[in-house]
Structures are given as structure tokens and as C-alpha cells.
Chains A and B, each alone.
Chain A
């Protein structure tokens, strides 16, 4: 079975500052990794995903993440955040070869301050 730990439940950051949201996973098999974003009163939408290939993955809205197999991490980064990035961010993992069952982390609330 897979598990995900998001180390920070809340991350406040000032507008135009860089941000990193941390995600570590545990699995005995190869994995797929995902970051989803949930804006207030909305469902989740995919930011980016790692399935294979380059370990640096670029997603929507200027976000990127790096898969680090040795550290079992998939941290999400953005060099300069905007007020509109305020949302909850979820890291998720599935067994490689099939994303039929996603295991989600507990989420990180990113609040961008003016």
C-alpha cells in the first residue's frame, strides 16, 4: 500500500514570494505522483503529474515539482505566487501502471498575503 505525508498543513506567504509545498510518500513499488489544487467551494483539479521520464514536471499556473526517488519526495514549487494561488493543495500517489486508486495526503492550505 502507498501513503502520503504533507508536512505542512498551512503555508502563509507574501505575494510574489517563492513557495515550496512538501510531499513525501511511502511505497514498496513504483509509483505515479500527482498534485491537485482545490479552490474555495470547488472540486479538485490536476496541477501536474509524474508518470515516468524527466523528474522535473511542469504544470499549470507556473507550478513545477521534482520527483526524488531516493528521498521519496515530490515537492511542489512556484517562484512567484499570486493572490489567486490561495487554495488547498493535495499530493496524491498511486501504484505505477494504474492510477485506479489514488491515496491523498491531508492537504496544505496555501494562503497568499498582499
Chain B
């Protein structure tokens, strides 16, 4: 089984709708991240969390919110989706003890019409 899973893998929604993207991990890592990927722009950090009580804004947090329900779960919400939020969204985890490596989920492809 994959260490970092994301649901759904694909989602089509309409402008103005609220949607939630979910991320679960079995790696036991404290740190979790949400990124979006746009063609030609690489990955940009939306939010990150170092533990259940620690949530931090990233580079592009406007229009998004997150919830860290447990060490293993980190959800990203779009309160009112807009077309320019159409992108590929990745969740990642990392271990604070030395490895400095982030482990990525398979991604959620979101289309906002």
C-alpha cells in the first residue's frame, strides 16, 4: 500500500462550490504539506503543518484552508472554487529527524468549470 494517499484522484467541480481534498499517510511523519502544480510554474506551497496544533500558510494560501484532523490526516479545502484553482494538487510528508526528504502522494487533478 502507498505511504501517502490522496482522495479523490480526479475531481470536476463548478465555480462557487466548496470542495475538500484529503490526504492520509502511514509513514508516521509529523510534517505534512499541500502544494499545487501548474504547467511551467513547478510546485508552490499552499499550507504546511508540523503537528496537529501547528498550521502555517505557504506561498499561495489565499482561497484555501486546511484541517489537520490527526497526525496521519491533512485536508485541503477550497471554500468557493474558482477556475484559476484548476491544477494538480499534491500532499507531502516529511520526518523532522534528519532525512530532510519530502514524500509525495500521487496527486489530485482538479478542474473547476
Binding site for B on A (CB under 8 A): 4, 6, 9, 32, 34, 36, 41-46, 49, 51, 90, 94, 99-102, 104-107
Contacts and interface: CB of A to CB of B under 8 A. Distances in A.
Contacts of A106: 40-42
Contact of B43 (A6, A32, A41, A90): A90
Interface in B1-50: 4, 31, 40-45, 48, 50
If over half of A's interface residues share one DSSP class (helix, strand or loop), that class is named, otherwise mixed; here it is loop
B104 A45 contact: yes
16 contacts: A4-B42, A9-B40, A36-B104, A42-B106, A43-B105, A46-B102, A90-B42, A90-B43, A94-B100, A99-B102, A100-B31, A102-B45, A104-B43, A106-B40, A106-B41, A106-B42
Interface residues of B, number: 22
A99 B104 contact: no
B42 A99 contact: no
Contacts of A94: 100
A43 B104 contact: yes
Given A51-B100, A99-B102, A44 B42 contact: no
Contacts, number: 53
Given A43-B90, A44-B102, 15 more contacts: A4-B42, A9-B40, A41-B106, A43-B4, A46-B101, A49-B101, A51-B100, A90-B42, A100-B94, A101-B48, A101-B58, A102-B45, A104-B43, A105-B42, A107-B42
A66 B42 CA distance: 22
Contacts of B42: 4, 6, 90, 104-107
B51 to A, nearest CB: 12
A87 to B, nearest CB: 14
